[in-house]
Amino acid sequence: MSVPPKADGGTAVPRRRAGRPSNAVLDRAHITTAALGIVSERGYPALTMAALARQLGVSPSALYNHASSKQEVLQWVQERVMSGVDSTGFGRVPLREALRRWARSYRDVFAEHAPLIPVVAVLPVAGSPRTLRMYESVAEGLSTEGWHPERIVPAIVALESFIFGSALDATAPLDILDPGQHASALPVFAGALEAQRATGAGPADTAFELGLDALLTGLLGAGEAGQESGRESPPA
């Protein structure tokens, strides 16, 4: 976004008066960026149409001329965030690898926008074509490998649940599991925590990779491409 140079060679943020919004500022991209900024800095409850209008320097009524509701703004935010999820592997690389890329990018994107997790996890997807296209890619990937149709959506939802939970965990303090004064009463857990720390690997990344591997093995089979077991009969 360029700002006009001031006479002294510096830059000035153009001031806007309520009721005279600049259309250049009030397009969907700018509204989405401002909304994402509010959520990231102050948490989801801070995102109101009034706060968003203030952030954009326009009146609420001017904002409503461009976004019909907070729900619509949320859908734009969802579209923006989901654009960081990599669904390109399906149909191009082995299914296990495509799912792994998808899951890693999905978790990384939401770890960066953790306040959105509880919101997006329960947001209807009909308003987000990008999210729907992503689901179609994953569904095609599973279907092509012979998965029974009724198992496809539960598998996607199970993976998403793990991804959302892991994205939350990625934002937890490093010492979240430290037992503090209780360590001596918890010898096995305290020892396990110490052993994990001694590996030097990041605890959230290690848990995510272990869980993702386990989930994919459980869903697809032993882990070799072409040996997926999703083709087995669904439970009666």
Site for its own copies in 45-74 (CB under 8 A): 45
* Gap between the terminal Cα atoms of the chain: 57
Of residues 224, 212, 218, the one with CA closest to residue 105: 212
Looking at residues 11 to 50 of the shown chain, list those that interact with its own copies (rule: CB under 8 A). Answer: 43, 45
When the beta carbons of 36 and 110 are compared against its own copies, the nearer one is 110
When the beta carbons of 3 and 132 are compared against its own copies, the nearer one is 132
Asked if 163 and 103 touch (Cβ cutoff 8 Å), the reply is yes
When the beta carbons of 26 and 142 are compared against its own copies, the nearer one is 142
When the beta carbons of 69 and 217 are compared against its own copies, the nearer one is 217
Looking at residues 157 to 176 of the shown chain, list those that interact with its own copies (rule: CB under 8 A). Answer: 157-166, 168-169, 171-173, 175-176
When the beta carbons of 172 and 225 are compared against its own copies, the nearer one is 172
When the beta carbons of 77 and 204 are compared against its own copies, the nearer one is 204
CA atoms within 13 A on the CB side of 41: 9
How many CB atoms lie under 10 A from the CB of residue 178? 12
3-state class of 56 per DSSP?
helix
According to the binding rule CB under 8 A, does residue 91 interact with its own copies? no
Report in angstroms how near the CB of residue 76 gets to its own copies at its nearest: 16
According to the binding rule CB under 8 A, does residue 89 interact with its own copies? no
- DSSP-assigned letters across all residues of 100-123: HHHHHHHHHHHHHTGGGHHHHTTS
- Exactly one of 132, 224, 225, 227 binds its own copies (CB under 8 A); that residue is 132
According to the binding rule CB under 8 A, does residue 225 interact with its own copies? no
Three-state SS string over 20-45 comes to CCCCCCCCHHHHHHHHHHHHHHHCHH
Question: 224: which residues sit within 8 A by CB, 6+ positions away?
Answer: none
Using the contact rule CB under 8 A, the part of the chain among 27-35, 56-64, 68-76, 208-216 near its own copies is: 208-216
- Exactly one of 31, 82, 85, 114 binds its own copies (CB under 8 A); that residue is 114
